[in-house]
Amino acid sequence: MNRKSIRLLLLRYYEKPLVLLFDKLGFSPNGVTFFGLTITLIAAVFVSQGQFILGSILILLGGALDLIDGGLGVLGVGSLFIIYRPMFTDINTVIQVLSGFSLGAS
């Protein structure tokens, strides 16, 4: 199984159904993004407390929402912020998690 076939499986069985669900529930791409950021912030707190398994699960969940907000953006739901949001949130997520590790180490 190569990268392209994995991506197609994710698109078909994960991204498309959840994008349609989030759209039907009235979520905007920005709302999903900030929900994901909140989850990764909570993950950073757990990591800083030494709870690495729970923190890792929350990091994966927050990252999984990154596919959903992009899919909602492709549907045309959103604003001009959607152009810059992915870069900002991805960098912010990394900073949050690394901050959690550094707080836990001190």
Name the DSSP letter for residue 78: S
Question: Whole domain around residue 67: which residue ranges?
Answer: 3-105
pTM of this prediction exceeds 0.85: no
User: In 3D, which of 92, 30, 97 has the Cα closest to residue 58?
Assistant: 97
User: Does 88 have pLDDT greater than 70?
Assistant: no
Q: State mean pLDDT over 76-86.
A: 56
CA distances from residue 97 to 18, 19, 36, 52, 71 in whole angstroms, order as listed: 25, 26, 13, 11, 24
For the chain, percent of residues with pLDDT exceeding 70: 77
Which stretch of 21-25, 43-47, 53-57, 101-105 has the lowest confidence by average pLDDT? 101-105
Rg from Cα positions in the chain: 15
Total domains in the chain come to 1
Burial class (CB in 10 A: 0-12, 13-18, 19+), 72: buried
